Amino acid sequence: MYNIYLYILVMAGVTYLIRVLPLTLIQKEIKNCTLRSFLFYVPYVTLAVMTFPAILSATGSILSALIGFIIALVLAYRGADLFKVSVGACLTVFIIELFL
């Protein structure tokens, strides 16, 4: 049988190293514009990569999820606030699921 405590210990060690190594290895300010830009966008890209598959699998069909996602993108691009975007996407998915 597998030892779950070993898995937890390895996971804790990897998580700790990921957080501590940059603090210990990088002592001075990063001046490279490309690297600074890359590090600035990492949290946004990570959030998008984790959220997009969940959007497509959250409904009964991929078609309704994709149309709801497109509506959300259009509303957000036009400057709607977060509440209007989420309500618009949810209503779109609800209406499409009624007819599918």
Sole residue written with tokens 């957080």: 19
Residue 35 lies in a domain: yes
Q: pLDDT at position 75, please?
A: 97
Residue 61 lies in a domain: yes
Q: pLDDT at position 1, please?
A: 59
Q: Write out the residue range of the structural domain in which residue 35 sits.
A: 31-99
| Domains: count for the chain | 1
Q: pLDDT at position 50, please?
A: 92
Residue 42 lies in a domain: yes
- How far is it, in rounded angstroms, from Cα 100 to Cα 91? 14
Residue 46 lies in a domain: yes
What does the pLDDT look like over 33-78, one tens digit per residue? 998 999 899 999 999 999 999 999 999 899 999 999 999 999 999 9
Give the three-class secondary structure for 58: coil
Structure tokens at 44: 């946004």
What does the pLDDT look like over 3-22, one tens digit per residue? 899 999 999 999 999 889 88
